[in-house]
Amino acid sequence: MANATIKATKRDTDKNPRQIRTAGFLPGSVYGKGMDATSIQLNTHEFEMMYKNNKDAVWEVELDNKKMNAKIQELQVNYATNEFLNVEFALC
């Protein structure tokens, strides 16, 4: 069912999003019915390559050895630099 699979880790709450992006990760969140919203971080380069090929994909987000099917609800982009700032996944 999923078109793209990406591995995510829980976001370090001691760092702000700018520090996370500088380290090469993309901050984001996963939420949906029956679960609490979870702050995550993804490898930025890996996400960019997958997103470029299938923008409307159903993503399989792997977090803590759990796989969840989700769609991108919102993707924040700095249009001056084309840098991804934040991504939000909503469970399908």
Q: Between vectors from CA 62 to CA 58 and to CA 67, what angle results, nearest 5°?
A: 75
Residue 74 confidence (pLDDT): 96
> Length of the chain, please?
92
What does DSSP assign to residue 57? P
Quote the domain boundaries for residue 11: 4-91
Residue 2 confidence (pLDDT): 59
Q: For residue 89, which of 43, 45, 39 has the smallest C-alpha distance? A: 39
Residue 12 confidence (pLDDT): 84
Query: Does residue 1 carry a pLDDT above 80?
Result: no
Each residue's pLDDT tens digit, 5-17: 999 999 988 999 9
Taking the C-alpha atoms of residue 14 and residue 36, their distance in angstroms, rounded to an integer, is 20
Q: Which residues contact 39 (CB under 8 A, 6 or more apart)?
A: 10, 11, 13, 27, 28, 29
What CATH number is associated with residue 72?
2.40.240.10
| Count of domains observed in the chain | 1
Task: State the pTM of this model.
Answer: 0.91
